[in-house]
Structure 1
């Protein structure tokens, strides 16, 4: 695992958001075809770098896996469901600003597309709606974002009610060690 530590200029401490951003950038163009053209590939590659598991499935399957992991009462899951729609987005923004890894996901049926979509919610918010930036690949250019598009640019906000948000419970993923 690569050492991607960065430091806060004032405190000299490694900041979670900087570590996460460095990991996102390092995995975005990796693989053939590049992860920038594959939302699930980007997330799986990110998991390999940061030390969390993502099954070898497409976006619909990854969403189903995350749902299953958050309702299984036989063990403590590493994933926590934050909610769906506005409530989930509000929690996602709050936790992303705390440096936590947040995944946004939709499945193809609920979203009305031929494929689902998974991406990472960033801590930075911009624009007139103060919307969070998103990092994730896509087979089409519209939803593809190297951390430069807001959630409103990646997903149709009329479909916000079908976007699920998950947080990795472990504050200290592999890159923090």
Structure 2
């Protein structure tokens, strides 16, 4: 009987021990300039800080993404870009929503852009939410631009227990 009690206690302690979470889920996507539809609007009624440099922009973009193994993946981007007169760069607050057939993943972050640059710098933004199949996730959205191709990685864990 002592053997069975000891074995039961051992199993109970093992079940209460630390759990090692599974590795993250990774979705890899890519797109090119031809996959992007853009719309820009100037803020402050077209007020310029200097020739060709506006005090702010709003950018909305839609990109058709490839490579996830899922059909019909789009990336919707909304950026507010305000000229920081101290640094001479735009402070860009960006929200990106990836739309998959089974739900959405949202990431939000900040980067700086030099007036005249047309491609945002590489960035890592925290995943701030998801819907449907991606509800209750946390992770990182990484975007890198290399040789005319935008490379995206969504690396996340489910927070469901």
Q: Which has the larger radius of gyration?
A: 2
TM-score range, shorter chain: under 0.3
Identify, as 1 or 2, the structure richer in helix.
1
Query: What TM-score do the two structures reach when normalised by structure 1?
Result: 0.25
Identify, as 1 or 2, the structure richer in strand.
2
Structure with greater contact order relative to length (CA < 8 Å, sep ≥ 6): 1
Query: What TM-score do the two structures reach when normalised by structure 2?
Result: 0.27
